[in-house]
Amino acid sequence: MKKTVFKGSAVAIITPFTENGVNFDELGRLIEYHIENNTDAIVICGTTGEASTMPDEEHCMAIKYTVDKVNGRIPVIAGTGSNDTPHAVKLSRFAESAGADAILSVTPYYNKATQEGLIKHFTAIADAISIPVILYNVPSRTGCNIMPETAKKLSKVKNIVGIKEASGNLSQVAKLASICDDDFAIYSGNDDQILPILSLGGIGVISVVANVAPKETHDMVYKFLEGNIEEAKKLQLDMIELCDALFCEVNPIPVKAALKLLGWNTGSLRLPLTDISEKGMAQLKEAMTNYGLLK
């Protein structure tokens, strides 16, 4: 049996920036906030963390800082994906050396890959390290989809232990769950589909909304896993308006704006991302007020 990296809610944590780099003091405060509010794992340097705009040195510093700050209290999962396989291997080896508990590896973007190319890409990364690998399938961003049959083949690699499924295609997730072994973990990559994916055998979520509602996201997953379906359903449905608002513009534009409204010093976004529009801010404030985050 493969070791499960986590069950529950892993936050795809934002990266707070200064004009000169990462605001490590604020990142540390965010990490403590998540541990205090029952977040089950930290994903550092993912899409929400704006990893695509971080030079390798900064990327590696953020991973190392997070590992050291967390200090074994919950798992740290490092985003180390790239559309260049040797580059992904390099970042993944660093993450392992820094003490990360696992890596999250996104499908190659822009150049994309065939299904055979995906198998070779992810196998090369997994073979280069000994820590667990979680695949990340988000075709809306990468233009590249991991088909269920491909995921099944990859699940046979000893340290490829799961997948973050953000295709939005529940039929595809159902097929994936039906053909993969029980020890291949499926995580929702869409906050509005946490319960549907749990109902198909998923064991958690890698979440954007957990940046602002960590306890509620954790509770939703665990209530479902413990059989309290009605309460879990209520938590999911109550969150839908907030989920919509957090994706009214390109992630992480709205979630960084939301954290600023809650008093966090997130700093600015890095180009090509820009500040939230007036229309987006109005939608976000309304949703946060209705959810009880703002008065």
Rg (C-alpha) for the chain, rounded Å, is: 18
Residue 161, classed as helix, strand or coil, is strand
Question: Other CB atoms closer than 10 Å to residue 160's CB: what's the count?
Answer: 22
Tens-place pLDDT, residues 246-284? 999 999 999 999 999 999 999 999 999 999 999 999 999
Calculate the alpha carbon distances from 86 to 103, 126, 154 in Å.
15, 12, 18
Instruction: Return mean pLDDT, the chain.
Output: 97
**Are the beta carbons of 168 and 141 closer than 8 angstroms?**
no
Grouping H, G, I as helix, E, B as strand and the rest as coil, residue 150 is: helix
How far apart are the C-alpha atoms of 9 and 113, rounded to whole Å?
30
Q: Which of 64, 164, 223, 256 is catalytic?
A: 164
Q: State how far the Cα of 143 lies from the Cα of 20, in Å rounded to an integer.
A: 32
- 112 Ramachandran zone, left/alpha/beta (phi>0; psi -120 to 50): left
Distance CA 34, CA 214 (A): 7
Question: Once rounded to an integer, what is the mean pLDDT over residues 28-37?
Answer: 98
Percent of residues, the chain, with pLDDT higher than 90: 98
CB 23 within 8 A of CB 267: yes
Residue 164 a catalytic site member: yes
Confidence at residue 25, expressed as pLDDT on a 0 to 100 scale: 98
pLDDT in tens, 138-163: 999 999 999 999 999 999 999 999 99
Give residue for tokens 């409204």. 261
User: To the nearest 10°, the Cα dihedral for 38, 40, 43, 48?
Assistant: -50
Whether 149 contacts 112, CB under 8 Å: no
Annotated catalytic, 291?
no
Q: What is the pLDDT of residue 234?
A: 98
List the one residue out of 127, 132, 70 whose CA is nearest residue 101: 132
Which listed residue (64, 69, 136, 256) is catalytic? 136
Q: Determine how many CB atoms are found less than 10 A away from the CB of residue 175.
A: 17
- Unique residue bearing structure tokens 């109902």: 199
Residue 163: its H or E element: strand 160-165
Give the whole-angstrom CA distance, residue 47 versus residue 54: 11
Q: Is a pLDDT exceeding 90 seen at residue 1?
A: no
**pLDDT value, residue 245:** 98
Do 10 and 42 contact (CB within 8 A), yes or no? yes
The continuous run of DSSP H or E covering 42 comes out as strand 41-44
pLDDT tens digits, 200-231:
999 999 999 999 999 999 999 999 999 999 99
Residue 2 clears pLDDT 90, i.e. is over it: no
Structure confidence at residue 3 (pLDDT) = 85
Average of pLDDT values for 63-89? 98
Domains of the chain, each with CATH number or no CATH:
8-228 (3.20.20.70)
